[in-house]
Amino acid sequence: MKERIGLYNHIPFCQKKCHYCDFLTFVDMEDKMDEYIDYLVKEMALYHGRYQLDTIYFGGGTPSYLAAEQMAKIMESISKHFEILPDCEISIEMNPESVTKEKVETYLKYGFNRFSMGVQSFDNATLRMMGRLHDRQKVYEKVALLKELGVEKLGIDLMFGNPKQDMAVLKHDIELAMQLPINHISYYSLMIKENTPFQRWVLTGQMRVLDDEIERKMYHYIQSELAKHGFHQYEISNFAKGEVESRHNKKYWQLENYLGLGLGASSNIDLVRFVNHRRFADYYGMIDQGKFPIQISERLSVEDREKEYIMLNLRLLEGFAFQAINQRFQINFLEKYQDVLTKHKKLGLIDYDHERIWFTEKGLDMGNQFYLDII
Ligand SMILES: C[S@@+](CC[C@H](N)C(=O)[O-])C[C@H]1O[C@@H](n2cnc3c(N)ncnc32)[C@H](O)[C@@H]1O
Ligand code: SF4
């Protein structure tokens, strides 16, 4: 029988690199995109007939930067080499300037049903400082277009903690976000990544990072404002209104099986975690030889998986059920981790009842302490 998994497709191209971003993505490669798609299709052929898909996810980079025909080619190939289940969740990450009517019509034709757009902020000065190509107006236009074409599950990505995005900007960002017809928000705290302009500006003193206290204050403000507007938080950075939680991302947190295709994509199938080559030449070279373009592969012990299961699942606000972990790993969770659980319940980081365990608000902020004790 075919195994049921989620499929991730990495699209490593952007029109412009944002000043804070270190994702595996390249600019000025428009003329190389067809070649990449040819290889992505060849990689799919290596997995022919093995899997059923209940989620498909296009991430990047900027998947919406691909032309409509390029995306159509990828989807045709997915249907050829995998079995797409009838209720499959198909998600795409987009950024505002690259969304067009023709592309959205193509997405809908191929069954895409979850759309998320990188907005980051509604403040034009902040957007310029981030190196974004769009302004607030462009977001409004593209959200209107997506709704006009019948998109139902629509989310945006926002960021906070950027020094230009002070409390006043943050408040305004939330106010404007709440006026949009969206039902999902990923709200990320800015991370200063290596070898980015942001890191350079921090090192040279041109940019000052927010202190932790203000950053946490902002996070709590986001949590309470979004809750007031009917967005329930289901993960550290994710909020949904209604049944629009990302099923695909939940697979990552719940340690379910997923296959990542494309440059640098990572996979997790049963006890094996593997990551594709990160350089085009290596990725293409392996596929040319008819081999899986895998650079790193590690088989985890069941004990490692168990600890990973605990840590990832606690990112979810609902935590996890004892029955689930006991069945999966053949343990008695409460007995095995009794000392750590007693200590951290006293410290107020975790809470549990007779069925489940979850992080308290304090635990969501300071979970590392608990993780260290689990390991
Ligand atoms: C791969 S991007 C996909 C969206 C699309 N490329 C765009 O930027 O509009 C996913 C999201 O990660 C977040 N992100 C990227 N770099 C980050 C950083 N350094 N710190 C926090 N969040 C970041 C942004 O909110 C971004 O929208
Ligand atoms: S944030 Fe999105 S658009 Fe900007 S460089 Fe990263 S992946 Fe590309």
pLDDT tens readout for residues 17-70: 999 999 999 999 999 999 999 999 999 999 999 999 999 999 999 999 999 999
- Going by C-alpha positions, the residue among 22, 61, 23, 60 that lies closest to residue 194 is 22
pLDDT, average across residues 163-180: 95
Please answer whether residues 267 and 46 qualify as being in contact, where contact means their C-beta atoms are separated by less than 8 angstroms.
no
Residue matched to tokens 């069941």: 302
Atom of ligand 2 nearest to the CA of 131: 4
Ligand 1 atom closest to the Cα of residue 61 is 6
47 lines ligand 2 (CB under 6 A): no
In angstroms, rounded to a whole number, what is the distance separating the alpha carbons of residues 261 and 44?
8
Nearest of 103, 86, 182, 85 to residue 143 by alpha carbon: 182
Asked whether residue 1 carries a pLDDT value surpassing 90, the answer given is no
* Per-residue pLDDT tens digits for 145-160: 999 999 999 999 999 9
Residue 56 phi, psi (nearest 5) = -130, 135
For residue 241, CA distances in Å to 30, 105, 150 come to 36, 25, 18
- With tokens 């099923």, the residue in question is 247
C-alpha to C-alpha distance for 246 and 235, rounded to whole angstroms:
10
Residue 325: Cβ-neighbour burial (10 angstroms; 0-12, 13-18, 19+) = buried
How many whole angstroms from 136 Cα to the centroid of ligand 2? 17
User: Which of 159, 162, 190, 239 is the best mutation target for the ligand 1 pocket, counting ligand atoms within 8 Å of the beta carbon and taking the most?
Assistant: 159
Taking the CA of residue 60 as reference, the ligand 2 atom at the shortest distance is: 7
pLDDT at 87 over 90: yes
Task: Tell the residue nearest (CA) to atom 2 of ligand 2.
Answer: 61
Q: Is 365's pLDDT higher than 90?
A: no
Q: If you take atom 14 of ligand 1, which residue's CA is the nearest one?
A: 21
User: What is the distance between the alpha carbons of residues 280 and 272, in angstroms, rounded to a whole number?
Assistant: 23
- Alpha carbon nearest to ligand 2 atom 5, residue: 17
| Domain 3-252 listed as CATH 3.20.20.70 | yes
CA 260/CA 234 separation, integer angstroms? 24
For residue 367, is pLDDT > 90? Answer: no
The rounded distance, in Å, linking the Cα atoms of 218 and 112 is 33
Report how far residue 131's alpha carbon sits from residue 197's, in angstroms, rounded to the nearest whole number: 10
Q: Are 6 and 257 in contact (CB under 8 A)?
A: yes
Residue 76: C-alpha distances to residues 45, 57, 338 (Å): 12, 15, 51
Return d(Cα 270, Cα 226) in angstroms, integer.
Answer: 36
- Both tokens of 214, joined, read 């203000």
Cβ pair 194, 22 in contact under 8 A: yes
* Annotated domain spans of the chain: 3-252, 315-374
Residue 230 and residue 241 in contact, taking contact as beta carbons nearer than 8 Å: yes
Distance (angstroms) between ligand 2 centre and the Cα of 18 equals 5
| Residue 72 CA to ligand 2 centre (angstroms) | 22
Q: For strand 3-11 and strand 258-261, is the pairing parallel, antiparallel, or unpaired?
A: parallel
CA of 341 to the centre of ligand 1 (A): 34
> How far does the centroid of ligand 2 lie from the alpha carbon of residue 7, in Å?
21
The whole-chain average pLDDT of the chain stands at 95
User: Which H or E run contains 364?
Assistant: helix 361-374
Does ligand 2 come within 6 angstroms of the Cβ of 18?
yes
pLDDT digits (tens, 9 = 90+) for 281-324: 999 999 999 999 999 999 989 999 999 999 999 989 999 999 99
Res 164: pLDDT: 84
Ligand 2 mutation target, pool 10, 13, 16, 25, most atoms within 8 A of CB = 25
Beta bridge partners of 187: 158
Asked if the model's pLDDT at residue 271 lies above 90, the reply is no
